[in-house]
């Protein structure tokens, strides 16, 4: 096992990783920006180093300062969390070059999966169904030709993308030029890589993703699926659940088998997630995230497995120690993301001071957060301030618990998504489990939050 792990992240996930290290008896080093000086992750780590000013490019993406911190504090591993450097093959390689274990898959696998166009090609080789689409587009003219042959509607996606950034739907040829320009500009601004590719837009699909774990010796298991179809118009997830409601057994078996097959094909190690679009009986591979995900707690609750500890164990060279048949999910878990955002204003992020914060508790409730009364929400980072997770023996029980938990939650100082989440939970469609990725956008369109 590692002696000391540097946590190259901030917010709730930095605390989450710190807790996992504590349970494993591993020392921790936090990094922080000047804007995060009073953040909880700084306080709970064994050591903490400021690595730069607020803007991410100069702090949480500052590879030389992060590596230097790891070296002078004697860390033997770095956990990248999600976002930031978590899917940077270059960073993983640099860690390797300095004799530091990057807690994640091999750099070559991150590179292959991180380039979404390459990932699709590799998945096709593994016999995984992918969405009809193109390689990287060189020009808007090439895009127009591709859209004609695939057939509208189509989706432009950033090859370096994630979190809905650099993604544009194009319904008719007239929209293409403008969508192409804005997708490439947004991708360039977000990822310093403006390259985009095109896919057929699958109408009203469900977003179903499969959690996988693989050790360094070829053992691979899946930990079931999550349904992340409650997405904002920007395609960012808002509510996730495990298992997916009303998913036919045949489809469930198929996505789980595809996920394991894909991992075996690419020689995947550590934790990862394969995202699929499911439309009727059709399954299309969308992308693979080679890191821990925001919504990992719902899987942890139904499988009773600590995924972050498993990540650290696998990276330290421990064998998985169990097989698929040993894994028995039980119950149902739902996660609501509490973001400092104005749901009435297109989920515009809000910064400021959280004057007063009270989080819920009780049986079956888990809150992963880094904020407290008086905490600052700096303008530089993701607007998520907490994840409220509810577990129940049944889906209905989990929903009921979640509703009570959200009503107990108090966040004063910025607008939040709590009201929006409650509104979603109360709808017949969510309760029936019969919803797809158009559900929230159409709900917003039909009845804007009062």
Residue 154 within binding range of another protein, rule CB under 8 A: no
> Rule CB under 8 A: which of 207-266 touch another protein?
none
For another protein, the closer of residues 77 and 437 by Cβ is 77
Residue 78 within binding range of another protein, rule CB under 8 A: no
- Give the list of residues 6+ apart from residue 27 with CB closer than 8 angstroms, or none: 3, 4, 5, 21, 46, 47
Residue 93 within binding range of another protein, rule CB under 8 A: no
When binding is defined by CB under 8 A, the residue of 38, 282, 304, 346 that contacts another protein is: 38
User: Which stretch, 16-24, 217-225, 309-317, 367-375, contacts another protein (CB under 8 A)?
Assistant: 367-375
Residue 69 within binding range of another protein, rule CB under 8 A: yes
Residue 65 within binding range of another protein, rule CB under 8 A: yes
Q: Does a cis peptide bond (omega within 30 degrees of 0) precede residue 69?
A: no
- Whole-number minimum distance, CB 88 to another protein, in Å? 17
For another protein, the closer of residues 46 and 175 by Cβ is 46
- Whole-number minimum distance, CB 85 to another protein, in Å? 15
- Whole-number minimum distance, CB 281 to another protein, in Å? 53
When binding is defined by CB under 8 A, the residue of 72, 185, 203, 358 that contacts another protein is: 72
When binding is defined by CB under 8 A, the residue of 1, 4, 19, 50 that contacts another protein is: 50
- Whole-number minimum distance, CB 12 to another protein, in Å? 17
When binding is defined by CB under 8 A, the residue of 53, 55, 194, 441 that contacts another protein is: 53
Residue 71 within binding range of another protein, rule CB under 8 A: yes
- Whole-number minimum distance, CB 356 to another protein, in Å? 13
Is 328 a known active-site residue? Answer: no
Distance CA 392, CA 386 (A): 20
Residue 118 within binding range of another protein, rule CB under 8 A: no
When binding is defined by CB under 8 A, the residue of 374, 394, 426, 445 that contacts another protein is: 374
When binding is defined by CB under 8 A, the residue of 6, 15, 21, 49 that contacts another protein is: 49
Residue 375 within binding range of another protein, rule CB under 8 A: yes
Q: Does a cis peptide bond (omega within 30 degrees of 0) precede residue 153?
A: yes
Distance CA 33, CA 37 (A): 7
When binding is defined by CB under 8 A, the residue of 52, 80, 360, 413 that contacts another protein is: 52
When binding is defined by CB under 8 A, the residue of 13, 48, 154, 277 that contacts another protein is: 48
Which one from 10, 195, 291, 366 is the annotated catalytic residue? 291
Residue 43 within binding range of another protein, rule CB under 8 A: yes
Number of residues that bind another protein (CB under 8 A): 25
Distance CA 401, CA 335 (A): 11
Distance CA 372, CA 388 (A): 14
For another protein, the closer of residues 44 and 429 by Cβ is 44
Residue 378 within binding range of another protein, rule CB under 8 A: no
For another protein, the closer of residues 42 and 286 by Cβ is 42
For another protein, the closer of residues 58 and 429 by Cβ is 58
Residue 64 within binding range of another protein, rule CB under 8 A: yes
State the SS3 of the chain.
CCCEEEECCCHHHHHHHHHHHHHHCCEEEEEEEHHHCCCHHHHHCCEEEEEECCCHHHCCCCHHHHHHHHHHCCCCEEECCCCCCCCCHHHHHHHHHCCCEECCCCHHHHHHHHCHHHHHHHHHHCCCCECCEEEECCCHHHHHHHHHHHCCCEEEEECCCCCCCCCEEECCHHHHHHHHHHHHHHHHHHHCCCCEEEEECCCCCEEEEEEEEECCCCCEEEEEEEEEEEECCCCCEEEEEECCCCCCHHHHHHHHHHHHHHHHHHCCCEEEEEEEEEECCEEEEEEEECCCCCCHHHHHHHHCCCHHHHHHHHHCCCCCCCCHHHCCCCCEEEEEEEECEEHHHCCEECCEECCEEECCCCCCEEEEECCCCCCEECCCCCCEEEEEEEEECCHHHHHHHHHHHHHHCEEECCCCCHHHHHHHHHCHHHHHCCCCCCHHHHHHHHCCCC
When binding is defined by CB under 8 A, the residue of 7, 13, 14, 42 that contacts another protein is: 42
Residue 410 within binding range of another protein, rule CB under 8 A: no
Distance CA 386, CA 223 (A): 23
- Whole-number minimum distance, CB 367 to another protein, in Å? 18
- As annotated, the active-site residues are 291
Q: Which residues bind another protein (CB under 8 A)?
A: 34, 37-38, 42-43, 47-53, 59, 64-65, 67-69, 71-73, 372-375
């Amino acid at each position: 096992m590692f002696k000391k792990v540097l946590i190259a992240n901030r917010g709730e996930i930095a605390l989450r990783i710190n807790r996992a290290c504590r349970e494993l008896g591993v020392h921790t080093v936090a990094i922080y920006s000047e804007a995060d000086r009073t953040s909880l992750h700084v306080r709970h780590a064994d050591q903490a180093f400021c690595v730069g000013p607020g803007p991410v490019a100069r702090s949480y993406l500052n590879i030389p300062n992060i590596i230097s911190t790891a070296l002078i504090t004697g860390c033997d591993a770095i956990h990248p969390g999600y976002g930031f450097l978590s899917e940077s093959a270059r960073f993983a390689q640099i860690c390797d070059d300095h004799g530091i274990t990057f807690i994640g898959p091999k750099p070559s696998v991150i590179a292959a999966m991180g380039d979404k166009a390459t990932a699709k090609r590799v998945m096709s080789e593994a016999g995984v169904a992918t969405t009809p689409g193109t390689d990287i587009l060189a020009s808007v003219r090439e895009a127009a030709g591709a859209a004609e042959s695939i057939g509208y509607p189509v989706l432009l996606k950033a090859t370096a993308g994630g979190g809905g950034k650099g993604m544009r739907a194009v319904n008719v040829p007239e929209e293409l030029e403008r969508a192409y320009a804005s997708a490439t500009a947004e991708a360039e601004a977000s990822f310093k890589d403006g390259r985009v590719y095109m896919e057929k837009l699958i109408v009203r699909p469900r977003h179903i993703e499969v959690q996988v774990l693989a050790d360094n010796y070829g053992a691979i298991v899946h930990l079931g699926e999550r349904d992340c179809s409650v997405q904002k118009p920007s395609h960012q997830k808002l509510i996730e659940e495990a298992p997916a409601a009303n998913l036919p057994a045949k489809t469930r078996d198929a996505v789980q088998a595809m996920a394991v097959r894909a991992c075996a094909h690419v020689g995947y190690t550590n934790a990862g997630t394969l995202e699929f679009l499911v439309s009727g009986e059709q399954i299309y591979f969308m992308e693979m995230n080679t890191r821990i995900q925001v919504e990992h707690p719902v899987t942890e609750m139904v499988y009773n497995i600590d995924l972050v500890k498993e990540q650290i164990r696998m990276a330290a060279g421990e064998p998985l120690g169990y097989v698929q048949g040993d894994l028995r999910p039980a119950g149902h878990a739902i996660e609501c993301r509490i973001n400092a955002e104005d749901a009435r204003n297109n989920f515009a992020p809000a910064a400021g001071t959280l004057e007063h914060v009270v989080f819920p508790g009780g049986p079956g409730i888990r809150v992963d957060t880094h904020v407290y009364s008086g905490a600052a929400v700096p303008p530089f980072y993701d607007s998520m301030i907490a994840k409220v997770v509810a577990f129940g023996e049944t889906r209905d029980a989990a929903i009921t618990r979640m509703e009570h938990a959200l009503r107990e939650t108090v966040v004063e100082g910025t607008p939040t998504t709590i009201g929006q989440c409650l509104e979603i939970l109360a709808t017949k469609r969510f309760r029936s489990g019969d919803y797809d990725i158009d559900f929230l956008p159409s709900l917003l369109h039909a009845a804007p939050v009062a």
